[in-house]
Amino acid sequence: MNWRNWLDIRPDVAAALTENRPVVALESTVIAHGLPHPRNLHTAAAMEAAIRAQDAVPATIGVLGGKVVVGLTGAEIEQLGTTADVLKASRRDLGLAVTSGQLAATTVAATAFAAAAAGIRVFATGGIGGVHRGVEETLDISADLGELACAPVAVVCAGAKAILDLPRTLEYLETTGVPILGYRTDSFPAFYAADSGLALEHRADTPADIAARLAGHWHVNPSTGILIANPPPAATALARAELEGMIEQALRDAAAQSIGGKEVTPFLLSRLSELSQGRTLQANIDLLENNAALAAQVAVALAS
């Protein structure tokens, strides 16, 4: 086994990186575990198309055939989005998944790690993982938060998922030293909702402005990640008040069914989609595409 080749950067992505052309990393857990089939595949394709529309190169990341692949093909994405029992791989799982050869989707943590290893600076997702409600009991804190502290990648997201304890998630990001830059907003978005009611201290209003701030961030903090908080599109975003009751119901259902560990987030997302008659799913899809488009604009500005 040639361990040095664990990272398989596909030619189109490698060429763009060598030539300093814009590249945007995308995760695959949202495809394999976050969205239902077939909308997961439509969304993955739409995110890649939104990136290409800005003349940037998408690099969807996953683990396949004993390699962490950067720049999955459409057929490989389809495999991840249609196969049952795909491993949800966090950073800690990557080395073991490479040695077992199993098919694995990468979370934000694992994707940020791989993107940093490949030299990709900009990554788009929906909402990052964070500190879960009831953390006093479960100690459930997403590995996304720890990884952002040591991967120099800008993650474009609609904040952290609304199912989480958002004030504690912000506290944790402060503790680990991960800054948050609001895009055209002064408050932390709440994933499905535009505004969590939690204030942000940093704001940028154009992709060029974001790119300039990123350059400054990495000049001073070269090994730290940063969140670009992009509110969800207004057309399908939900109001925070209407969400809260559904989230509480979903959390009760998770507890009643003893859902724990890495199953918690996929369970809650899918339960919320049922409780909202698909409205949270539509909001999730729209914000994913919106984040891909902004990430591409930022990558273009960074490369110029």
Query: What does the binding site for Mn ion look like in residue numbers (CB under 5 A)?
Result: 140
- Neighbour tally for 257: CB within 10 Å: 11
Closest chain position to Mn ion (CB)? 140
**Nearest CA-CA partner of 66 in 112, 8, 26:** 8
Which of Mn ion, ligand PSU, none interacts with 279 (beta carbon under 5 to 8 A by kind)?
Answer: none
Binding window for ligand PSU (CB under 6 A); candidates: 59-67, 107-115, 175-183, 294-302: 107-115
Do the beta carbons of residue 254 and residue 211 sit within 8 Å? no
Do the beta carbons of residue 105 and residue 32 sit within 8 Å? yes
Q: Taking the CA atoms of 267, 269, 273 and 278 in sequence, report the sign of the dihedral they define.
A: negative
Binding window for ligand PSU (CB under 6 A); candidates: 46-54, 79-87, 126-134, 194-202: 126-134
Would you name the residues annotated as active-site residues?
Answer: 27, 161
CA distance 208 to 124: 17
Binding window for ligand PSU (CB under 6 A); candidates: 11-19, 47-55, 124-132, 211-219: 124-132
* 289 binds ligand PSU, rule: CB under 6 A: no
* 71 binds ligand PSU, rule: CB under 6 A: no
Closest to ligand PSU by CB, 141 or 211: 141
Q: Taking the CA atoms of 13, 150, 3 and 76 in sequence, report the sign of the dihedral they define.
A: negative
* 125 binds ligand PSU, rule: CB under 6 A: yes
- Using CB under 6 A, pick the residue from 40, 54, 107, 224 that binds ligand PSU: 107
Place of tokens 């940020």: 112
* 127 binds ligand PSU, rule: CB under 6 A: yes
CA distance 284 to 233: 10
Contact set for ligand PSU, span 10-69 (CB under 6 A): 27, 29-30, 33-34
Between strands 104-106 and 87-89, the pairing is parallel
State the residues that interact with ligand PSU by CB under 6 A. 27, 29-30, 33-34, 107-109, 125-127, 129, 142-144, 262, 265, 269, 284, 288
